[in-house]
Structures are given as C-alpha cells and as structure tokens.
Amino acid sequence: MSFTLDYSVDVPSPLDLTFKVLTGKEYTHHVLDLYGMLAWYKPGQPGERNGHPIFNFQFAERVPVLFGLTSTDVVLTAEQEVRPEEKMLVYRSRSSMVKVVKTRSFHATDNPQTTRVKEHLLVTCPKLLKCVVEPAARDAHRFHMSNYHKLFKEGALPVPVHLAD
C-alpha cells in the first residue's frame, strides 16, 4: 500500500549553499540527525548513475514502541542521487517493512538569502501498517524539514561549506 506526502519550508540561506548542505554526502549525517532519533550512521561508497553522483549509506532510527515505554532501532539502507542541473536530490530508503522515495527540490525566492525546499515522498508499506506509518511519517517529515534552518546557524556544521567545490 502506498501514500504520498508533500511539504515545503523556507530556509534562511542562499540557494547554492542550501543545495550544497542538503545534498552533500559530507553533511548527510547532520541532516539525518535533525530528527533526533538517529541511533547510528554508516557512510557507504560514492558512485554514479546516468552521470549523477550517488551516495549510499545505512543508518538506524531509534523508534519508540509500546506507547514510548521502550524503543527499537529500525535499520535503513539508503541512497541519495544528486541532480545539480535540476537542483534536486532523489533519496531512496528501505527498511524491512517500509520503502521511501523522496524528491527534494530547491527553489529561489524573492529574497536571495532564502531558499524554498520542497519535498515529495512516496511511501510504501504493508496495508496493515498504513494506519500507523502514514500519520507517523507525516509528523516526522514536517518536524524534520522544519528543523532544516538549524543547519545554517553559525557553527552548526563541523564540516566547512565551500561553494567552489
């Protein structure tokens, strides 16, 4: 069973910088950690598909169960495909029960110091889990994107951003 989610936020950062941080493999761990449930992160090998850079990785999210009395780690295998000419990232992840394809696009606004980031998710899960997965995914997606601005505060990223790269 599949469902879609769409959300957008305005990030207080110029388009090129926002694109670099929210698509760069050196920042992936920090982007994932914005949700606050990252248990571990393991980068993989970079590659290429149709001339676009690909970055594979694995990570685990610590998910509360039994009404928050305990938690379990959900392991995900993921890849990011960066499409610089389209100002787009295509993210694919899979756990044992849920598959996500996310398209993240970057758009200039009237303010050159602000970028609009739009995401479209296609989530596939077993029919019996949809009633739990859909509202949880919607809330997590909005919360995660609403925290993107934190990456652009002074000193937020330990890896310096070089736009010339």
For each of the chain's 165 residues, which pLDDT tens digit applies?
Answer: 999 999 999 999 999 999 999 999 999 999 999 988 899 999 998 999 999 999 999 999 988 777 778 888 999 999 999 999 999 999 999 999 999 999 999 999 999 999 999 999 999 999 999 999 999 999 999 999 999 999 998 777 766 665 555
CB neighbours of 12 closer than 8 A, spacing ≥ 6?
113, 114, 149, 152
Distance CA 130, CA 123 (A): 9
Distance CA 70, CA 64 (A): 6
CA-wise closest residue to 123 among 110, 115, 132, 114: 132
pTM for the model: 0.90
CATH 1.10.1060.10 given to domain 2-152? no
Q: What are 164's two structure tokens?
A: 């010339």
